[in-house]
Amino acid sequence: MRELVCIVCPRGCHMKVDDELNVSGNFCPRGASYAKAELTHPTRVVTSTVRIKGARYPRCPVKTAAPVPKERVGDVMAEIAKVEISAPVRVGDTVIEDVCGTGAAVVATRELT
Amino acid sequence: MYDLIVIGGGPAGLAAACSAWDNGLRSILIVERDRELGGILNQCIHNGFGLTRFKEELTGPEYAHRFVELLSRTGVEARTDTMVLEVTLDLRVHMTGPETGYRVEEAKSVILAMGCRERTRGAIGIPGTRPAGVFTAGAAQRYVNVEGWLPGRRVVILGSGDIGLIMARRMTMEGAKVLACVEVMPYSGGLTRNIVQCLEDFDIPLYLSHTVTDIRGGDRVEQVVVSRVDENRRPIPGTEMLFDCDTLLLSVGLIPENELSERAGVEIDPRTKGPAVYENMETSLPGVFSCGNVTHVHDLVDFVSAESERAGAAAARFVLNGPAAGEPIALQNGFGVSYTVPQRVRPGNVEKAFNVFFRVNRNFGKSEIVVSRGETDLCRFKRDRLAPGEMENITVPVKLLEGASGPITVAVREV
């Protein structure tokens, strides 16, 4: 039996998961899938910034468009740190297509001109 | 003359203006002091915003962008880089900006949406020297996420507010070492999920019932002293721990920014430090409404948007249909409750039910929230747990108020 707090939404359900991966204490189905993933192959959406030239500010916020395996977060951060883009950029523009072979794109989260 | 002037172009102001437009107002002005709309969301690059409002997990800038897009489909005018200096009783708004110069605009209604600001070292009086390296968590967030500077390498965080927790993770991921998060209260001030995903995920220790009792260093922070505190929050001698660090981040609370409201003569509730409001977010001044963090500090922007949409709709009703009617009933704190918003309800102005937002003053296990009027219990709401860091929200059917008299009390009963 494992206990964990759901991080999917701010409700923060306190959940219990047994050895057969039966989840209890979750308010919604997202909690159950989070709990199962967390105990088998945990993932995270990575948010960070990249350098941007010619914009109002020197950094543009980005995120992975899908969750990536938790153990790859460090690699993804290192890859994101290498990138420099140029203005203008729009929300959702791809910054890295398939980051570290995770299958997830890194996309801009802010419009900067 | 404008139908409505909204002061502040952050999430509260954006939602309020959109909603006022949707409810029929056609001459609306948003005044924003920053160079762009979106407010603090633009530096909150982490995700988790919008699950309630958009049923999606968005980052702060994306959430702001959604509302800026909605706004662009209206005829709302937005004046950025413009500072409001004064709002007068007759609803004249004094403002100044580099392009327009000094202007006075008249309005039929005003929405206060100025947000809040962070408490600083001065507000909590930490002893010690005054070296560089002491930042509020939000200032550090701007340096890292917008300006591209890492403000330190070895960090201690005082306070467990959400921004401090988010910055613990952010600075760790950018290569800094976060040594500890120190909280004077026996419970965390932030959301449980942030304790889990920002501290526990990175093995950052959280010291509850501890505080920073000394800051040491010449030009730059070199060391902070952390001591355990007793139940009266007084440091216990002999419990000192030393942390060699170059940075201290403060996440020790937010204060609604109400200089304009106070000067206008709006009644301020000492519990929330924001305007006291009626059920429709109207302040003590008719035609002046207040929403978002200037009213009471929220945990979630989704709730700021929802509250602000109600304020926008109410401003539209005020302009189009005239003042709200009805005798007000006061709401008061019962056991375990530290404030309520609204502070007053006019049943005649409520269609079916009204929402009450409040915070509890300590952690509770399985509990009931009991709403009563005089001696009469009106309704109860079950909760598995209650925490001061998580704002509560209940919906009270207005017809329950009939037949009872006196103020409404919201209380916690542990079961």
* pLDDT confidence of residue A51: 98
Same domain, B391 and B370: yes
B138 interfacial to chain A (CB closer than 8 Å): no
Identify the three-state secondary structure at position A78: helix
A:B CB pairs within 8 Å: 79
| B49 pLDDT higher than 90 | yes
Distance from CA of B254 to the nearest CA of A (A): 19
pLDDT of residue A9: 80
DSSP H/E element including B266: none
Residue ending a domain, choose from B300, B324, B348: B324
CA distance A45 to chain B (A): 8
Query: CB distance from A38 to chain B under 8 Å?
Result: no
Please give the pLDDT value at position B87: 97
pLDDT at A7: 86
Which tokens is B32 given?
């924003």
Cβ A59–B173 below 8 Å, yes or no? Answer: no
Report residue B188's pLDDT band, with 50, 70 and 90 as the boundaries: confident
The answer to whether residue B246 scores a pLDDT higher than 90 is yes
pLDDT for A10 equals: 76
Chain B CB contacts of A7 below 8 Å: 193, 196-197
Q: Could B59 and A59 be called an inter-chain contact, meaning their C-beta atoms sit closer than 8 Å?
A: no
Range of the domain at B275: 1-118+254-324
Instruction: Report the residue from A6, A10, A58 with minimal CB separation from B299.
Output: A10
Q: Which residues of A touch B61 (CB under 8 A)?
A: 61, 91, 109-110
- The CATH number linked to B43 is 3.50.50.60
Q: Does B85 touch chain A (CB under 8 A)?
A: no
| Token couple for B53 | 């409002």
Interchain proximity B61–A51, CB inside 8 Å: no
Residues B145 and B244 in one domain: yes
What pLDDT does B160 receive?
94
Fold type of domain A47-108: CPE0013-like fold (3.10.530)
Please tell me if residue B18 touches chain A, with a CB cutoff of 8 Å: no
From edge to edge, which strands make up the β-sheet containing A23-24? A2-5, A14-17, A23-24
> Among B23-32, B181-190, B226-235, where is mean pLDDT lowest?
B181-190
Token digits of residue B122: 């001065």
> Is the predicted pLDDT of residue B414 greater than 80, yes or no?
yes
The token pair at A23 is 């989840």
Whether B173 sits inside 8 A of A61 (CB atoms) is no
Q: Choose from B56, B145, B386 for mutation: most chain A CBs within 10 A.
A: B145
- pLDDT, tens digit (0-9, with 9 covering 90-100), for A3-62: 998 888 877 888 999 999 999 999 889 899 999 999 999 999 999 999 999 999 999 999
Phi, psi dihedrals of residue B267, rounded to the nearest 5°: -70, 130
- What average pLDDT score do residues B67-72 get? 98
Best mutation target, B62, B142, B172, B386, to test chain A (most A CBs within 10 A): B62
Residues of A in contact with B35 (CB under 8 A): 56
ipTM strictly over 0.90? Answer: yes
The share of chain B scoring above pLDDT 90, in percent, equals 92
* Among chain A residues, CA nearest to B38: A110
Inter-chain contact A5–B35, Cβ cutoff 8 Å?
A: no
Cα nearest neighbour of A81 on chain B: B174
Does B196 contact A4 at a Cβ distance shorter than 8 Å?
yes
How many structural domains is chain B composed of?
A: 3
What residues of B are in contact with residue A67 (Cβ under 8 Å)? Answer: none
Q: Are B240 and B261 in contact (CB under 8 A)?
A: no
Verify that B135 and B222 share a domain, yes or no: yes
Locus of tokens 């109860």: B380
Q: Is the pLDDT of residue A1 over 90?
A: no
Residues of chain B with C-beta less than 8 angstroms from the C-beta of A63: 45, 47, 59
A10 and B51 within 8 Å at the Cβ level: the answer is yes
Which residues in chain B have Cβ-Cβ distances shorter than 8 Å to A45? 47, 57
Contact A61 B47 (CB under 8 A): no
Closest partner CB to B65 (pick from A4, A6, A111)? A111
Q: Per-residue confidence at B403, pLDDT binned at 50, 70, 90?
A: confident
Residues B148 and B212 in one domain: yes
For residue range B256-301, list pLDDT tens digits in order.
999 999 999 999 999 999 999 999 999 999 999 999 999 999 999 9
Domain termination residue (choose one: B237, B252, B267): B252
The CATH 3.10.530.10 domain(s) of chain A lie at 47-108
- Of B179, B189, B186, B181, residue with least CA distance to B158: B181
Residues B146 and B168 in one domain: yes
Confidence of residue B88 (pLDDT cuts 50, 70, 90): very high
Give me the pLDDT at residue B202, please.
Answer: 96
* Same domain, residue pair B128 and B242: yes
Edge-to-edge order in the sheet of strand B177-183:
B134-136, B247-250, B154-158, B177-183, B206-208
pLDDT at residue number B189 = 84
Task: State the Rg of chain B over Cα.
Answer: 22
What is the pLDDT of chain B when averaged over all its residues?
Answer: 96
What CATH number does the domain containing B331 carry?
A: 2.60.40
Model pLDDT for residues A94-111, shown as the tens digit of each residue: 999 999 999 999 999 999
Identify the closest residue of chain B to A44 by CA–CA distance: B197
Using the 3D structure, point to which of B252, B280, B308 is the last residue of a domain: B252
pLDDT band at B97 (very low <50, low <70, confident <90, very high): very high
Q: Is residue B157 domain-shared with residue B39, that is, in the same domain?
A: no
Distance (Å, rounded) from C-alpha B129 to C-alpha B132? 10
Same domain, B263 and B299: yes
pLDDT reading at B190 higher than 90: no
Sign of CA dihedral B114, B118, B120, B123: positive
Cα-trace Rg, chain A: 17
Question: For position B15, what pLDDT does the model report?
Answer: 98
Interface test with A, best of B70, B149, B187, B193 (most A CBs within 10 A): B193
% of chain B beyond a pLDDT of 70: 100
Give the pLDDT of residue B390. Answer: 87
Report whether pLDDT(A67) > 90: yes
What are the tens digits of pLDDT across the range B98-114?
999 999 999 999 999 99
Q: How many CB atoms lie within 10 A of CB B43?
A: 22
The beta-carbon neighbor of A59 closest among B147, B192, B195 is B147
